[in-house]
Structure 1
Amino acid sequence: MPRLIPSLRTVLFRLHWALGLTAGLVLALMGLTGALMSYEEAVTAFANHDRLTVTAGDRPALAPSALVARIEAQAGLKVNILTLADDPAASVHVRFARDPATRARPPAVYADPYDGAVLGPVRLEGVFTTVRDLHRWLLLPGGSKGWGRTITGACVLALLVFLGTGLYLRWPKVHRWRIWLKPSLSRPGRPRWWSLHAVAGTWLIPVYLVMALTGLTWSYPSFKDAATGLLVGERETAKPMRAAGRRAAAEAPADASGPAAVDRAWAAFRAGEGREAGTTLLTLPSPDARAIRIRWLPKGVDDLSARNEARYDAATGLLLATEGAADLPLGRRLMDNILEVHRGRFFGDLFALLFCLAALALPGFAATGLTLYVLRRRAAAQRRPAKPRTAPPALREASR
């Protein structure tokens, strides 16, 4: 008598391949786009190598307010962020403020820090913007508020289901490291594809687990809030910054406002902590902002998780507070650099490469899973008994 209720293994197996034929294809696309973005900075720098350098000579660099004024006069746009380097021959990366109506950000440009001349737009920026939108919400209408984000979020959840069901389905009766970690490529047919699919998945379980959990923070705000509460704590949701003093406003000169405040803050930064800065991001304050934000990396360091921050009064240009990456607990650093954790760069260059290769492997899992499905269906069709052939009605009448 056939069994009416399928076993747990059968249910999980069907769930695994059903998600593989649907969410697996989306995850394959997300893996390809994610791998492209893993080395976005390096690819962009290579494509813009002629715009990354300028001739310094004996020219003094312009103050931020003068530099911004000249760039805005040429571009006709409001500057939002300046990325400056300690190298005298390095150009300035300029990002503009978003359009108030469409919330779209104009293309970034490079500029000469000595005369403010715009050197040209950042090549490949539009390409990577499209790749990023494809990765996050499949280029569907609505962007981050449309169905694309819902679909990709559900597929990330499916990745967690893949990890759990795949581990259960391949759980061996005899535990040996060769069974777990070495594929049996000498086996012919479907066993070879299954071994490659299962063993590669076992190797990459930790990577995909980190990718999925960090990816959910963009798809589901409630999950991000829960992760923040777990890693940071409810009482430490605000960034802890060291106060620099209570008399900043009282010590300010009467004319230290607007552009003068930005220049005063920049001069104070360069005379203080900025002496050790390699790359610096200067965020210009909006009209209603209270602070000028300066983030910086030490010389010779390109790890974004090591980024420090200083804030200056937007009206006076005097230091308000500072924050060092080394002073933050691990949980706060993880949440503040969730993108770097997602890409593996938080753990070092070797892990960044591993995460990139794991992203590239997602299409491979979709391909091997589809191959296994086709081979299984073909084998089942061959085992199915053939139906007896019946003669046409006319022949049956004639034989009587």
Structure 2
Amino acid sequence: MTTSSLPQLRASADDAPQTRQLAAPQQQRRYWNWKQVWFQLHWFIGITAGTVLVIIGLSGATLAFKDELLDLMNPGVRHVAVETRTPLTPAQLSNIAAAEHGQRVASITMYAEAGAAPRLFFAPKNGQRRGESIYLHPYTGATQPALAGAEFFEWTESLHRWLLLPRDPGRQVAGALALCLLGLALSGLYLRWPRRPLDWRTWLTFDPALKGRSFLWNLHAVAGTWCLVVYVALTLTGIYWSYDVVRDNIDAWAGKPPRMAQAPAKKGGGKAPAVDISLAWTSFQLHAAGWTLASVRLPTRAGEAVQFTWLASDAPHERARSRMSIAPADGTLTESEPYSQQALGSRLVNIIYPLHMGTYFGLPGRIIVTVASLGLPLFAITGWMLYLGRRKAKRAVQAQRAMLGAGAANKQNTGLPTLVAYASQSGQAERLALESARALQQAGVAVDVQSLDRFDPAQLRQYQRALIVASTFGEGEAPDGTRRFARLLQATTGTPLAGLEFGMLALGDRHYSAFCGFGHALAQQLHALGATSLFPLIEVDKHDPAALAGWSTALARCSGSAIDAIGVQEEASYAEWRLARRVLLNPGSLGGELHEITLTGPADATWEAGALAEIIPCNADGSDGEGSHPDSAHHAPRSYSLASLPSDGELQLLVRQERHAGEENQGHGLASGWLTRFAPLGSPIRLRLQANPAFAPALVDVPCIYIGNGSGLAGLRAHLRARQRAGLARNWLLFGERQQAFDSVCGAELQGWLDTGHLARLDKVFSRDGERQYVQDRLRASANELREWLAQGAIVYVCGSLQGMATGIDAVLQELLGQEGLDALLAAGRYRRDVY
């Protein structure tokens, strides 16, 4: 934004109270809406269960390709060279293995693939849950070498399924972790639910150009969305095996017999009747055309049939197995249950394992499950980094509060302390007040530092002496946060302040007719209430060193000791920046040309959203604008809201080209004409950065409402970029301009934020299109939504023209909240303005 000269509200104002209010009430008060509750649950589960979930994810990824890894580590064990002779039958293989190992054979798994080694299972010995298994050479029946790495994968499976704990409690813990992962997935889905959920780009597009916290959040959210369906499938299927009550109920619904009934009636490695299963095997091959895998369970008692569980070549997945029973004596088929004829419930239950392993979708499914499992460390790392970043930011805010309050009260000396109070808009008054308080303390004077934002006029009676630093906002008005104090003081009658001595340092800008207007009004009212002056009111025009020296002298008289000069460090030097480019944003607009000005400067330059740039203007011919005209306003530095962040790598401004009658500078405003028209690309621009704490960003998880018009979008854009990079998405932007066809300023960026959910709501109002309407009208029409946002703790930011837009927004808020409600909003630091 720009003005024809440095605005009083910026040159002389300050902020301190606003910054402190952000740090204190906003940190101390949480607005527990549902989204906030889910956010707290999401990060709490993530930083607690997330670490253990990493172990489950990595172990699951390891098991996904276990067979391939074992074959790679053990060539020639599970697959042998194909020979021309016929492979041995199950009967031959079981006889050879039983004779060689002296154990009863329980079952044997055969493979139709040539060269695949059958796997034979012995009956479990007493006290064992399951028996040993070996692989046999399909052509000789010789026992194959033990698989190298098999013990590692068994250990990994125990880690994955029950975290190496005893089996039953381990399953319970693993199930609880599965529920945690399900909660993380669903809460993450809720937290990033965008305004336009049907736009796939909103969900699945990752922006690699992001940096820092914003990059982490975007990676965390987008990758989580990609993996969401997989995690839901993994957790739901994992819960099936973790809790008996879940598994038993699902099995009962599916018509499966209870697991105890499914178990073998007899355990142990004792002798079983010798049964020749040759005829049964021949019969099976006749009735199961196209089989690829067959598990043959041998009878455990006389008269029992041989049980076959087999997989057809056209089976939809690895657990889609048919069942068959064949009498061993004559090969009679006693029972046949193809998979396609099994009950629907039973078939659905059989899908659980393939879904969990990803094999239901073949090799692509296994790859997807593996990648998703390997993604759990990514979410844990990025989640921890985001959490630690929030902790660091919180500690920084707490440290800032401690620094601002360091000189607030020094009660070591006897007697009443001297009140050092300030009324601040952009931060200068607070800085001068704190510096004055520290100087007085060093001189042995007890002080009590207070912001008039949170001060009641009645409290003045507690003091005998007060030193006040008062900034003026706009045309003689009180700073935003001090309006309540000023109103209450004006309503006070009588002489309750008789006996109070006060000194006033009034900050202002002589360009405005009501120079230091609020300081004078405040002093006048204090006099009317019976207070007396310690010394004549001291006016400061911007950073006038002579006036500040007078203030230092006055403080020295009050303390009886020498006082170092106050405010000397306020005058920062101007650095040389370069004009990198300028872009006209509204060609054809009815309003003045609006340009995006890009500057490059010192590599170590840093600022935060809401900061300002003071620029020394030049004449159209490039000559120094300072001192080129007898009017002091002519050569004053111009102040602009920064539209970018340091992480953007450049400083951006939105500058409205000012036009006026006359030949000077070809009818252009001094600074705006230089920046938007006359300055050659690459030319030097003298600039200094100015903090603006009253318009500081809210980088905590509260909603924010951004309202502005014209070049006021600059400051709002910087705020929204900062919120995006902090992963804070509850943002509502109301922006006004003239014509949609010509004045859709930064339209692509705003629409992108809306599409990705960074903007929860975007209202663009164009006053010259159809019915004449302004942002204050749209805000009034959205009163219900505004109430909801404010009830959730929303902070309101206003940036743009003071007359019309800003005063209109003020009126709407007063209508909606009443005077007391508006005062409370200001006092809480939840109504922040940067207007001109």
Mapped pair 1:210 → 2:233: yes
- 327-336 or 121-130, which deviates more: 327-336
Name the residue aligned to 2:455.
Answer: none
Please give the residue correspondences for 1:193-342 in structure 2 after superposition, counting only pairs within 5 Å: 193-228=216-251, 232=254, 236-237=255-256, 258-270=273-285, 272-287=286-301, 290-299=304-313, 303-313=317-327, 317-328=331-342, 331-342=345-356
Distance change (3 Å), C-alpha of 1:10 and 1:4: closer
Query: Deviation at 1:352?
Result: 2.2
Please give the residue correspondences for 1:85-96 in structure 2 after superposition, counting only pairs within 5 Å: 85-96=111-122
Q: Could you tell me how far apart the structure 1 residues matched to 2:224 and 2:276 are?
A: 55
Contact 2:278 2:328 in 1 (8 A): no
Query: Deviation at 1:104?
Result: 4.8
Name the residue aligned to 1:53.
Answer: 80
1:118-170 Cα shifts (integer Å, max 9, x gaps) = 12223322221111100011111x22x2x221211101111121122112221
Contact 1:311 1:319 in 2 (8 A): yes
1:368-393 Cα shifts (integer Å, max 9, x gaps) = 111111111111111222353899x9
Contact 1:17 1:369 in 2 (8 A): yes
User: How many residue pairs were aligned?
Assistant: 369
- 332-341 or 17-26, which deviates more: 332-341
Distance change (3 Å), C-alpha of 1:14 and 1:321: same
Query: Deviation at 1:61?
Result: 4.5
Mapped pair 1:137 → 2:162: yes
1:194-252 Cα shifts (integer Å, max 9, x gaps) = 1111111112211111111111100112222444466x4xxx4369xxxxxxxxxxxxx
Letter in 2 for 1:197: H
Which structure has more helix as a fraction of its residues? 1
Letter in 2 for 1:269: F
For structure 2, the 5+ residue unaligned runs are 1-24, 259-271, 413-440, 446-836
Name the residue aligned to 2:109.
Answer: 83
Query: Deviation at 1:289?
Result: 8.7
Q: Could you tell me how far apart the structure 2 residues matched to 1:184 and 1:63 are?
A: 59
Q: Could you tell me how far apart the structure 1 residues matched to 2:120 and 2:170 are?
A: 30
SS at match of 1:120: coil
Q: In the alignment, which of 62, 66, 69 is matched to residue 36 of structure 1?
A: 62
Q: Could you tell me how far apart the structure 1 residues matched to 2:193 and 2:91 are?
A: 64
Name the residue aligned to 2:127.
Answer: 101
* TM-score for both structures, normalised by structure 2: 0.41
Distance change (3 Å), C-alpha of 1:383 and 1:289: farther
Distance change (3 Å), C-alpha of 1:163 and 1:61: closer
Mapped pair 1:182 → 2:215: no
Letter in 1 for 2:290: E
Q: Could you tell me how far apart the structure 2 residues matched to 1:172 and 1:55 are?
A: 58
SS at match of 2:103: coil
Name the residue aligned to 1:376.
Answer: 390
Please give the residue correspondences for 1:142-161 in structure 2 after superposition, counting only pairs within 5 Å: 142-143=166-167, 145=168, 147-161=169-183
1:345-385 Cα shifts (integer Å, max 9, x gaps) = 11332222211211111111111111111111111111222
Query: Deviation at 1:188?
Result: 2.0
Q: Could you tell me how far apart the structure 1 residues matched to 2:252 and 2:112 are?
A: 37
Query: Deviation at 1:264?
Result: 2.2
Name the residue aligned to 1:119.
Answer: 144
For structure 1, the 5+ residue unaligned runs are 240-256
Distance change (3 Å), C-alpha of 1:377 and 1:339: same
Please tell me the root mean square deviation across aligned C-alpha atoms, in Å: 3.1
SS at match of 1:49: coil
Name the residue aligned to 1:165.
Answer: 187
Q: Could you tell me how far apart the structure 2 residues matched to 1:179 and 1:87 are?
A: 47
Distance change (3 Å), C-alpha of 1:76 and 1:125: farther
SS at match of 1:369: helix
SS at match of 2:40: helix
Q: Could you tell me how far apart the structure 2 residues matched to 1:100 and 1:193 are?
A: 55
Contact 2:171 2:243 in 1 (8 A): no
Bigger Rg, structure 1 or 2: 2
SS at match of 1:322: strand
Query: Deviation at 1:28?
Result: 1.2
Query: Deviation at 1:21?
Result: 1.4
- Highest RCO, 1 vs 2 (Cα 8 Å, sep ≥ 6): 1
Letter in 2 for 1:24: G
Q: Could you tell me how far apart the structure 2 residues matched to 1:203 and 1:114 are?
A: 47
Q: Could you tell me how far apart the structure 2 residues matched to 1:164 and 1:84 are?
A: 43
- 314-323 or 278-287, which deviates more: 314-323
SS at match of 1:90: coil
Q: Could you tell me how far apart the structure 2 residues matched to 1:382 and 1:328 are?
A: 64
Letter in 2 for 1:93: R
Distance change (3 Å), C-alpha of 1:289 and 1:381: farther
Q: Could you tell me how far apart the structure 1 residues matched to 2:367 and 2:99 are?
A: 42
Q: Could you tell me how far apart the structure 2 residues matched to 1:364 and 1:216 are?
A: 23
Letter in 2 for 1:34: G
SS at match of 1:134: helix
Letter in 1 for 2:63: M
Query: Deviation at 1:29?
Result: 0.9
SS at match of 2:144: strand
Q: Percent identity?
A: 32
Q: Could you tell me how far apart the structure 2 residues matched to 1:285 and 1:368 are?
A: 55
Q: Could you tell me how far apart the structure 2 residues matched to 1:273 and 1:44 are?
A: 33
Letter in 2 for 1:135: H
Name the residue aligned to 1:246.
Answer: none
1:41-90 Cα shifts (integer Å, max 9, x gaps) = 222233333122156444x5444334212212323333222222334543
Contact 1:261 1:317 in 2 (8 A): no
- 340-349 or 48-57, which deviates more: 48-57
* TM-score for both structures, normalised by structure 1: 0.81
